């Protein structure tokens, strides 16, 4: 990463012109406080955790939504919700360094496609707006719920009551807090992406705010259609230069895709980024 590119990105982040977009890789150093095991965040580790550590059939190991659909058909949708809530809402994890860095400066808008609560914990000392993706509901055509955090607790609000002074945390794939809602199985993704493309999965105020923004993709591989389809609609109305994706040793498929949509690939990973910004991970490694 050249010094010029680094300065441009960092300045844009701190001016809230560039939006952090967090993928599973940002949780690489989060560990179970009791066992020391890594937090299951990426597709492969989530499948193993869901299946008691055992791999599933190769066609199911391709990605988590496919494996989750298999388990939903066998064991019911509640099984997935209970598994994800136990994993991310009831298990104690060490803090990821990326979240310590975010908590240090608290950007005005963050997109987090993980299902853990560390981003929310980073804003636990101040008011903020939380947008949570939901799927396969019949009570509304919208595929999100909006919550206001008043410094002590969350309560649901209509988008007309969103206060633009407060930071916005967008968790499209769900979270266990304040209510357990997840987009997990193939059926969830089909429903969510359909409504996302139709404009019903993002509040109007956020559609206005995101116009012309650029993005920094941290910890997200772009070689799976589900992630790319979600991402493509979430960053709609970005600038002509949509931003940067930190992808270590990108595949040809990732290179072609990023070139097509206007993303610049930086051949680096989250650890490299933390070294560059000189934040907590370097301190953790020597602790």
> For residue range 73-104, what is the model confidence (pLDDT) as tens digits?
999 999 999 999 999 999 999 999 999 999 99
The region that residue 68 occupies, defined by phi over 0 for left and psi between -120 and 50 for alpha, beta otherwise, is alpha
Report the predicted TM-score, pTM, of the whole model to 2 decimal places. Answer: 0.95
Q: How far apart are CA 166 and CA 274, in angstroms?
A: 26
* Domain ranges, ordered by start, for the chain: 3-286
> For residue range 152-181, what is the model confidence (pLDDT) as tens digits?
999 999 999 999 999 999 999 999 999 999
Please enumerate in sequence order all residues whose Cβ is within 8 A of that of 26, keeping only pairs 6 or more positions apart, or say none: 96, 98, 99, 114, 218, 219, 270
Mean residue pLDDT across the chain: 93
Helix, strand, or coil here: 96?
Answer: coil
pLDDT tens for the chain, residues 1 to 287: 667 788 899 999 999 999 999 999 999 999 999 999 999 999 999 999 999 999 999 999 999 999 999 999 999 999 999 999 999 999 999 999 999 999 998 999 999 999 999 999 999 999 999 999 999 998 888 999 999 999 999 999 999 999 999 999 999 999 999 999 999 999 999 999 999 999 999 999 999 999 999 999 999 999 988 999 999 999 999 988 899 999 999 999 999 999 999 999 999 999 999 988 876 444 444 44
């Amino acid at each position: 990463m050249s010094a010029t590119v680094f300065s441009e990105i960092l300045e844009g982040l701190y001016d809230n012109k560039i939006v952090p977009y967090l993928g599973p890789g940002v949780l690489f150093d989060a560990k179970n406080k009791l066992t020391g095991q890594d937090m299951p965040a990426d597709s492969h580790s989530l499948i193993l955790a869901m299946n008691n550590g055992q791999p599933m059939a190769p066609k199911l190991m391709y990605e988590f939504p496919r494996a989750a659909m298999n388990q939903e058909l066998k064991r019911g949708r509640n099984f997935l919700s209970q598994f994800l809530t136990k994993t991310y809402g009831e298990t104690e994890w060490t803090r990821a360094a990326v979240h310590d860095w975010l908590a240090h400066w608290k950007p005005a808008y963050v997109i987090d496609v993980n299902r853990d609560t560390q981003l929310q914990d980073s804003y636990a000392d101040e008011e903020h707006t939380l947008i949570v993706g939901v799927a396969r509901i019949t009570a509304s055509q919208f595929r999100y719920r909006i919550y206001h955090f008043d410094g002590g607790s969350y309560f649901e609000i209509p988008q007309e009551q969103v206060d633009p002074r407060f930071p916005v945390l967008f968790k499209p794939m769900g979270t266990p807090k304040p209510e357990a809602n997840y987009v997990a199985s193939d059926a969830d993704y089909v429903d969510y992406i359909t409504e996302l493309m139709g404009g019903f999965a993002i509040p109007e105020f956020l559609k206005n705010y995101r116009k012309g923004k650029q993005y920094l993709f941290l910890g997200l591989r772009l070689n799976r259609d589900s992630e790319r389809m979600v991402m493509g609609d979430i960053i709609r109305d970005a600038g002509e230069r949509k931003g940067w994706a930190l992808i270590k040793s990108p595949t040809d498929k990732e290179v072609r895709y990023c070139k097509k949509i206007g993303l610049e690939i930086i051949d680096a990973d989250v650890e490299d980024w933390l070294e560059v910004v000189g934040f907590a991970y370097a301190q953790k490694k020597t602790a």
